[in-house]
Every structure is written in C-alpha cells, then in structure tokens.
C-alpha cells in the first residue's frame, strides 16, 4: 500500500509518499494559497497511490483536497477522533490542531517524555509525557511574524531575510533587526522550554521541526535533535491505523 501524506499548513502544503514501513524519498509542496483541483492534478499527475491521509489546519483548503480525492480513493482527515498511537490528556481534544497531533504521534513513537517544537507560521510546543500521552503545550507567534512586523508597521525599517547574525551589536539597520529577531526568538524558545520542563515529570528530550528549526536550534543547546520529517512521519503512523 502506498499512501499520499499531506501536511496542509497555513503557508505551505507538503506532500510525501509512505507505506507501512517508511516514508519514501519523494517530496513536493505547494503554497497553500494555490491549492486547487487544477494544481493538485498537475502536481500528482504521475503519482500512483492507494489512499490519502490529510493533516490540515486550513479548513477551506482541506475541503478542496477532500473533494479532489473522494470517493475514488480511501481518504482520512487526521483529528483527535482518529485512531492514534498516543493517549490524549486534554479537556477538549477537538481543539488540538491536527499538525500538533501529528508531531506528538511522531515523537511518541521515538520515545517519551518529549517536547516537540514546530517552527511554522506559529511556533508550537507540544508536550508528550510517558505513555506516550499528549498533554498540551504552548502556541506563540512564528519567527516570520517577527521578520515581517517591523517592515509593515514602521516607515523606515525594511523587511529582512533571516540568517545567523554576525554579532549581537548590529552595525547596520538590517544587522540590528536580524540580531533582535534571531537572538530574541532564541530567548523566547529557551524560556518556554524551561517552563515546560519544570511542569513535566521525568527528563524530556526535545526535538525541533519546521522551516526555521535549523536556524534557531543552532543557538539553543536544549534542543536535542532537528527532524524536518517529524510531522510527515506522524501522519504516516496515523495512516497505518486509519487507512483500510
């Protein structure tokens, strides 16, 4: 069985193939704003699959994706109602984003307790205690919000490209903004990690994923690993339990 695994997030929608043993090497992506029946036809014209597992946080695009595949292929949209390889200790499970569940499933299969940090449009911190059991977490603005905000809200400050600052003391406007964004964001991440660790049982390992994970993790020694495929792996594991 070959499944199409779809991570439909706010900015990008990522596609991968997987089966009961592993993710394949094939990857593709589309800007989420461009998801349509036509763009899906073009992207997947040569791809042969037996079913689709969708992880979406964009309801409008999730509807387009579902209608593209159903009823000709088995289709499952990931949620707290899915069969999962983790327990859920959360008062209102239906409020948990599917991407956060996928990250928890992925890290839970590798070992718990754990904290997953997903650097996307928002940065999410998700706590998986022994069990493994999803217990909640933190949502904060993503690094992109810091990257864009000053350029949009001030007359003279530009939009910047994020990269490792040469020094904390910026010698130009752009260098000063890069220092504030990258070092400031690392400070946010370290403080949230410390607060979560203080409330958890055991000693969690910490894994980062998402577009800005590698940049931020370079200056956060508390992060044990960077796994760009963690969300897709969680989707694959969920497909194993929910696809016919």
Active site residue 99: yes
pLDDT for the residue numbered 73: 95
Q: Residue 214: its pLDDT value, please? A: 95
State yes or no: pLDDT of 244 exceeds 90. no
Going along the chain from its start, the domains and CATH numbers come out as 1-77 (3.30.420.40), 87-97+111-244 (3.30.420.40)
Q: What is the mean pLDDT of residues 47-69?
A: 96
CB 5 within 8 A of CB 16: yes
- What's the confidence (pLDDT) of residue 119? 94
What gap in Å lies between CA 227 and CA 214, rounded to an integer? 9
Give the residue-averaged pLDDT of 208-229.
96
Return mean pLDDT, the chain: 94
Average pLDDT on 23-35 reads 96
152-198, pLDDT tens digit by residue?
A: 778 777 888 888 999 999 999 999 989 998 999 999 999 999 999 99
pLDDT digits (tens, 9 = 90+) for 120-157: 889 999 999 999 999 999 999 888 877 777 777 787 77
- Which pLDDT belongs to residue 209? 97
Position 144 scores a pLDDT of: 81
Nearest to 216 by CA among 170, 181, 191: 181
Strand pairing class (205-210; 225-226): parallel
Between residues 56 and 157, the one the model is more confident about = 56
Active-site residue, selected from the candidate residues 99, 118, 212, 227: 99
Total-model pTM: 0.93
pLDDT of 89 reads 97
Answer whether 43's CB lies under 8 Å from 28's CB: yes
**Residue 27 forms beta bridges with which residues?**
16
Task: Please tell me the predicted confidence (pLDDT) of residue 147.
Answer: 73
Q: What's the pLDDT at 233? A: 98
The tokens of 26 are what? 């094939």
Exposed e or buried b per residue across 17-56, where buried means at least 16 C-beta atoms within 10 angstroms of its C-beta:
bbeeeebeeeeeebebeebeeeebeebbeeeebebbbbbb
The answer to whether the beta carbons of residues 147 and 162 sit under 8 Å apart is yes
Task: Please report which residue ranges of the chain form alpha helices under DSSP H.
Answer: 37-43, 59-69, 98-110, 143-153, 173-199, 213-217, 230-242
Q: Mean per-residue pLDDT for 106-126?
A: 95
Q: Which residues pair with 136 in a beta bridge?
A: 127
pLDDT number for residue 218: 95
What does the DSSP assignment read for 188-241?
A: HHHHHHHHHHHHSSS--EEEEEETTHHHHHTT-TT--EE-TTHHHHHHHHHHHH
């Amino acid at each position: 069985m070959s499944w199409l695994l779809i991570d439909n997030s706010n900015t990008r929608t990522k596609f991968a193939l997987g089966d009961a043993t592993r993710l394949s090497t094939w990857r593709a992506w589309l800007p989420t704003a461009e998801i349509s029946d036509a763009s899906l036809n073009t992207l997947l014209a040569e791809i042969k699959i037996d079913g689709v597992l969708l992880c979406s946080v964009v309801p409008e695009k999730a509807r387009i994706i579902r209608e593209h595949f159903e009823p000709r292929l088995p289709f499952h949209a990931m949620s707290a109602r899915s069969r999962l390889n983790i327990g859920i200790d959360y008062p209102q499970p239906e409020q948990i984003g599917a991407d956060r569940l996928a990250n928890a499933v992925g890290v839970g299969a590798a070992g718990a307790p754990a904290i997953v940090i997903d650097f996307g449009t928002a940065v999410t911190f998700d706590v998986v205690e022994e069990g493994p059991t999803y217990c909640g977490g933190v949502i904060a603005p993503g690094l992109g919000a810091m990257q864009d905000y000053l350029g949009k809200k001030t007359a003279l400050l530009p939009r910047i490209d994020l990269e490792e600052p040469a020094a904390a003391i910026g010698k130009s406007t752009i260098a000063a903004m890069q220092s504030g964004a990258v070092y400031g964001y690392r400070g946010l991440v370290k403080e949230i990690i410390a607060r979560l660790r203080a409330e958890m049982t055991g000693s969690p390992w910490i894994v980062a994923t998402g577009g800005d994970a590698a940049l931020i993790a370079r200056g956060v020694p508390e992060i044990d690993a960077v796994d760009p495929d963690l969300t897709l792996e969680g989707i694959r594991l969920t497909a194993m339990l929910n696809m016919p």
